[in-house]
Amino acid sequence: MKVFVTRRLPGGALDRLAAAHDVEVWPEQMPPGREELLARAPDLDGLLSLLTDPVDAELIAAAPRLKAISNYAVGVDNVDLEAAAARGIPVGNTPDVLTDTTADLAVALMLGISRHLVEGDAYVRRGEWRTWETGLLLGHDLHGSTVGIVGFGRIGQAVARRLEGFGCEILHTSRRGGVRFDELLERSEFVTLHCPLTAETRGLIGDEALARMQPTAYLVNTARGPIVDSEALARALRAGRIAGAALDVTDPEPIPGGHPLLDAPNLLVLPHLGSATEATRARMADMAVDNLLAGLAGEPMPHSVT
């Protein structure tokens, strides 16, 4: 069957896919454009997409032969699940494997922004470190702090387990319970986002939410960029309404150079590295290929979301 993979993947998983099917892998660093995807759609039996690829109703309608969609991510907000389900097309993702890797990064971001790690490195490289100073780049402690976890699924719980070692008080809010969202914002010294992107969570952290946070609090986002209103965050940072923010995801993503948010103070931004370890990304590729092979064979995907 004809399969399109929208980017090269680490490890040897694509060799297994190519041994069974006719596979085309997009060779460029940048993702295929809209016209590229639509041009290939009529001939496709299988699609292995990344989270930056919009697999919407139009694309699905343009692919009458499409039998399976495998998304190389835990989230599937880039895929129109209703349109796929209406056609009986299974959609797979890569859950669990990136839980611990992303949780590690969330804690690293908390430490990075609150202890001025990036600023400290730049200070040394500029040759400005001439003596030990008592007031240089004073930060805030993570140990013993109150951390609010928004979204208490696999990754949120993994973050909580790590923070137990720091002696943190953990607050959480999720669909299954926890404290009220407003209370979490008001009490937390760190607010870390681990909820999925849905209609309810889009723009969840806007002007009102940021105003409820403590002026000494930090915001961390390793979930999805649009959960945070970028313009509202920029205003809050410039006004000193919160102490800082550390983002692994942005809106838009990738965030272009010169974006107003990047001029805001006390901001640490990474290029979506939550799952970026060799072992995790290779395992994600294996899972994505396993899903696609099963779907093309008419068998249940090992990790299906539809």
Cα dihedral 37/42/48/53 (nearest 10): 30
Active-site pick, 116, 272, 281, 303: 272
List the one residue out of 53, 3, 39 whose CA is nearest residue 292: 3
Instruction: Name the active-site residue from 36, 183, 186, 253.
Output: 253
Active site residue 272: yes
User: Which residues fall within 8 angstroms of residue 251, CB to CB, at 6 or more apart?
Assistant: 225, 226, 228, 229, 230
For 233, the 3-state DSSP assignment is: helix
Active site residue 8: no
Choice among 7, 172, 187, 224 that is catalytic: 224
DSSP state letter for 263: G
Inter-residue contact 251 to 202 (CB < 8 Å): no
Q: Which residues participate in catalysis according to the annotation?
A: 224, 253, 272
